Amino acid sequence: MYVTASKLYDFIQCPHRVWRDVYGPKEEKVKETNPFVELLWEKGVLHEERIVRGLGKVVDMSTGSHEERFAATIEAMKSGAQLIYQGVLIYENLLGIPDLLRKLPDGTYIPIDIKSGMGFAGVDEEAGDEGKPKKHYAVQLCLYNELLKRLGFAIHDSGKIIDIQQEEVTYDLNSEMGPRTPMTWWEYYESIKKQVEFLINDHERNTPALCGVCKLCPWYNSCKKWWEENRDLTNIFYVGRSFRDRITEDLMIKTVDEFMELDVEDVMKQKEIEKKAGNKEFLYRIGEKSLKKAISRAHVQYKTKKPIAYEQLDFPDVSHELFFDIEDDPTQEFVYMHGVYERSPGKEQFIHFTAEELSSTAEADAWKRFWEYIQALRKDDYSIYFFSKHERTTYKRLQKQYPNIISLEEVEAFFDQTNAIDLYEIVQKCTDWPLSSYSLKALATYIGFSWRDETPSGALSIQWFNEYLKNKDAKILNRILEYNEDDCKATMIVKDYLVRLGSQS
Ligand code: SF4
């Protein structure tokens, strides 16, 4: 079995996915592609087609069997083709299909991948920060580059990404990953490649760990069954793979039941002894506080089975409470809805500011109307609730895009006012729930709220919006509106529940 770019990508997303794809119970894998994943894929294909169309003459290797395409790619490079599209490179157990292979002036080739994201992570022009390479882009370019070198068509250690803005970004694969990771991208790639080889050959096995990417994974139900049956530690909110693996390796603890019996003081003494003996790896990055927190979460989830607030929770006493949520499509950085569920004495209503077209005029107009609404409210007589930092981050980006609508200082002041409350922050810091996830959906559903839509999700809202752009079907727009309104109402339900929970503390 070949090591491919998609296996390297999967490993970075979830190391278990690589093993499960080969050896997992096939009958438990969901066959249909998640509609959001499909949307991302379609957008990627369209972006790639657009880029390739603009490149002029390319030698197209996108059809045929891998073997045929490999032979033709080698021939094309031998005869000095300038640009090869979807060529196949194979060497021993490695197989790579770079989107493009470009001939350099010295006659060698450089791999180029076309991506529908930014070329670097964390690009922030205003801060003068140029961002840093993305792990999954870097390892894919390393694979292509290794193949080119082994086949005798490259002498350099670099690759390029053409990103969503059609910028070409160069990846120096011999550079260090970062100041705190003194490993080069090549060394990182080599270690990932080795682990992928072990997993696909079943020389090594790892176990599922509940994490952020699981919801979009076709193995979700299958892995969920495993977590539950095995009483795995990643069932506990905020316990991830590395925490779980450290606890299992250093303390031989595998289940939540054993974990709940842990004597934290003893463990911390043991850590001190190990440290003095020169073993700094023992419970690396796990301190007393995080251990205690995880154990108390496990108790709430598996023993008391009731939510708890660790302190009284006070909220502003004002005439108008606004529960606020936005809908945006990160694949095209577009905010299409700002929804507010307004609760005033004797009156509740849903208000929305929607961009019904994919244009900056429509996006700016919806945002402007949102601010006009906010500015018309009597200052200090309203509070605004939301559930994550997403709204704040997105509004700062919108401000950069539309500086004439509102200043950055005003956006900051809006979120910094004491009456602007991120409920997720309160939930995380001051409460615990008998749940693996503290998402708005999980909490509100636990409290008894139900969405009108049978399959509510932010990812589906994006899919519906993209459908609406194509067919302008009012029913679809209404579905998005209902979904957004229900998200706002769910925020209200959670706030009210927190008030009751806090009063019992
Ligand atoms: S469901 Fe989660 S743990 Fe399981 S393979 Fe997918 S991403 Fe990995």
pLDDT of 370 over the 50 cut: yes
Residue nearest to atom 2 of ligand 1 (CA): 214
Which atom of ligand 1 approaches the CA of 217 most closely? 6
Mean pLDDT for the chain overall:
94
Residues with CB under 6 A from ligand 1: 14, 16-17, 20, 208-209, 213-214, 217, 219-220, 223
Listed range (19-28, 38-47, 289-298) with the worst mean pLDDT = 38-47
C-alpha–C-alpha distance, residues 461 and 393, integer Å: 19
CA of 209 to the centre of ligand 1 (A): 7
Residue nearest to atom 3 of ligand 1 (CA): 208
Read off the pLDDT of residues 202-219 as tens digits, 9 standing for 90 and up: 999 999 999 989 988 999
Beta-strand relationship, 334-344 and 347-354: antiparallel
* pLDDT recorded at residue 44: 87
Which atom of ligand 1 approaches the CA of 214 most closely? 2
Q: What is the mean pLDDT of residues 401-416?
A: 96
Under the banding of pLDDT at 50, 70 and 90, the label for residue 84 is very high
Tokens representing residue 404 in the block:
């004439």
In the chain, DSSP finds a helix count (H) and a strand count (E) of 18, 19
* pLDDT recorded at residue 124: 44
Cβ–Cβ contacts within 10 Å for residue 458, how many? Answer: 20
CA of 111 to the centre of ligand 1 (A): 30
Q: Where are the domains of the chain?
A: 5-200, 230-305, 320-503
Which atom of ligand 1 approaches the CA of 224 most closely? 1
CA of 481 to the centre of ligand 1 (A): 31
CA of 409 to the centre of ligand 1 (A): 41
Q: What is the mean pLDDT of residues 141-165?
A: 95
How far lies 158's CA from each of 103, 112, 174, 186, 190, in Å?
Answer: 13, 10, 8, 10, 15
Q: Is residue 244 a contact partner of residue 233, using CB atoms and an 8 Å limit? A: yes
CA of 307 to the centre of ligand 1 (A): 27
pLDDT of 446 over the 80 cut: yes
Q: Which of 340, 338, 344, 308 is nearest to 326 (CA)?
A: 338
Q: What is the mean pLDDT of residues 344-357?
A: 96
CA of 54 to the centre of ligand 1 (A): 38
Under the banding of pLDDT at 50, 70 and 90, the label for residue 123 is low
Which atom of ligand 1 approaches the CA of 20 most closely? 5
Residue nearest to atom 5 of ligand 1 (CA): 17
pLDDT of 285 over the 60 cut: yes
- Torsion angles phi and psi, residue 404, rounded to 5: -80, -15
User: What CATH architecture applies to the domain 320-503?
Assistant: 2-Layer Sandwich (3.30)
Mutation choice for ligand 1 from 7, 9, 16, CB with most ligand atoms inside 8 A: 16
Q: What's the distance, CA 356 to chain centroid?
A: 26
